[in-house]
Amino acid sequence: MQNIVILAGNIGQKPEVRSTQSGTKITNFTLATSRPRLSEGRAIRDENGYRVMDTEWHRITCFNGLGKTVAEHCEKGMKVMVHGRIHYTKWTDATGTDRYGCEIIAEKVDFLSRPKATENENPELVDRDDEIPF
């Protein structure tokens, strides 16, 4: 039996970092994945001929070194691929109601795009894919 998740999508907001009382660093971000909306096995198209897409949002949690790397190098809109596992939680809120949650515990995050260049960066120092000879 295995619990394996692989998601590729866009980061929804700047990753947030927090620490537990024991000092463990935890980084959280949301990831948007999209797929075409289907009807009778065919993609639905809008009035302009574009495919209608359904977007799902996933909560991603990274620990320690991976979390540090994500927090330092990722930002809203970047494309990433997350390898990890599904983790379900249950807790009781202040009113005594049972609450449930689902998150992806990341074991690996691959960067599929670069963060946007900052205003202070020299564009000549940034590698560009169109300059690589084939």
- Residue boundaries of the structural domains of the chain: 5-118
Residue 75 main-chain phi, psi, to 5 deg: -150, 170
For the segment 62-80, the average pLDDT, to the nearest whole number, is: 95
CB-CB contact of 22 with 47 (8 Å): no
Q: How far apart are CA 86 and CA 67, in angstroms?
A: 17
pTM above 0.85, yes or no: no
Which token pair is 69? 């790397």
Domain 5-118 has CATH 2.40.50.140: yes
- The confidence band for 129, taking pLDDT boundaries of 50, 70 and 90, is very low
Q: How far apart are CA 134 and CA 128, in angstroms?
A: 13
- pLDDT surpasses 70 at 90: yes
Banded model confidence at residue 124, pLDDT cuts 50, 70, 90: low
- pLDDT at residue 118 above 70? no
Q: Are 50 and 69 in contact (CB under 8 A)?
A: no
